[in-house]
A = this chain, B = another copy of it.
Amino acid sequence: MKTISENACFGGTQGVYSHGSEATGGDMTFGLFLPAEAKEGPVPVLWYLSGLTCTHENAMTKAGAQAHAAEQGIALIFPDTSPRGDGVADDDAFDLGKGAGFYVDATQDPWAPNFRMWTYVTEELPKLVFDSFALDPERQAITGHSMGGHGALTAAMRLPGRFRSVSAFSAICNPTESDWGQKQFAAYLGEDRDAWAAHDATRLMDEKGFDGPMLLDTGTADQFYDLLRPEALAAAIARRRQQATLRLQPGYDHSYFFVSSFIGEHVDFHAEALYA
């Protein structure tokens, strides 16, 4: 693991690190905010999964999450959204290939060799950061934005016991029924739709649900609203009687101005579960 940068930040440290990744077959970069409390011992962790076109950097610089995480003594991890590098397959579209890993393990060419973001984010990167930093694996929570909201929700439901709470901003809620999902799943996972179901938050809600609190925010002026399909997940949550708070925030769009407006409430929501 290589340190790219470390900056003092709200009494703690905002670091950026890179490392060779077996899962994705190349170098990966991630951001990690450690609050001051990490000098004394392991601290709770909030994972932040980013959306289409993002790297490890967008949320780290634009969400304003560190102020709230510092107040609560919680670490933040910002993984990248896809494999990177010259040898990695890509597509001209912004929503396929680099910056668009969709948190799945691709089984189809040309994506299969590198696009294994599910394994990277749920296995390889956790092992690395818990081995290397003062982080408490017993106290994890997860959030994300858009494609990252999809990643957070699917990870939380597919890994029972790992995360105490889950939240999302502008999440892609039902990708198997959306152009944000069908296109990528067909490319990465193939045409067999049975393989898609495990990566659809609405279908996972109907099958499994989540054993903990859930907070979902979506802006009513989101320019991608129809692609997100929050109505499908809202109905599934109510059908399942899932402990949850769903909020439609009037006038907010899909941008980081929306995320930054409510990230404080999300960090506080997770803190309540992490310190319970």
Nearest B residue to A220, CB-CB: B241
Verify if A249 is at the interface (C-beta below 8 Å from B).
yes
Q: How far is the CA of A232 from the CA of B236 in the complex (A)?
A: 10
- Given A248-B243, A249-B243, A230:B238 Cβ within 8 A: yes
List the B side residues contacting A237 at CB < 8 Å.
231, 234, 248
List the B side residues contacting A41 at CB < 8 Å.
none
A266 smallest CB distance to B (angstroms):
14
Verify if A63 is at the interface (C-beta below 8 Å from B).
no
Q: Give the contacts of A233-250 with B (CB-CB under 8 A).
A: 234-239, 241-250
Interface size on A, residues (CB 8 A): 24
Verify if A256 is at the interface (C-beta below 8 Å from B).
no
Verify if A225 is at the interface (C-beta below 8 Å from B).
yes
Q: B245 and A235: CB pair below 8 A? A: no
Nearest B residue to A221, CB-CB: B241
Q: Give the contacts of A43-60 with B (CB-CB under 8 A).
A: none
A174 smallest CB distance to B (angstroms):
11
Q: A241 and B234: CB pair below 8 A? A: no
Q: How far is the CA of A97 from the CA of B147 in the complex (A)?
A: 51
Q: B243 and A246: CB pair below 8 A? A: no
User: What are 26 sample pairs from A and B whose C-beta atoms fall under 8 A apart?
Assistant: A213-B250, A218-B238, A220-B241, A220-B242, A221-B241, A225-B241, A230-B238, A231-B234, A231-B235, A231-B237, A231-B238, A234-B234, A234-B237, A234-B238, A234-B246, A235-B235, A237-B248, A238-B246, A242-B248, A243-B248, A244-B247, A244-B248, A245-B245, A245-B246, A245-B247, A245-B248
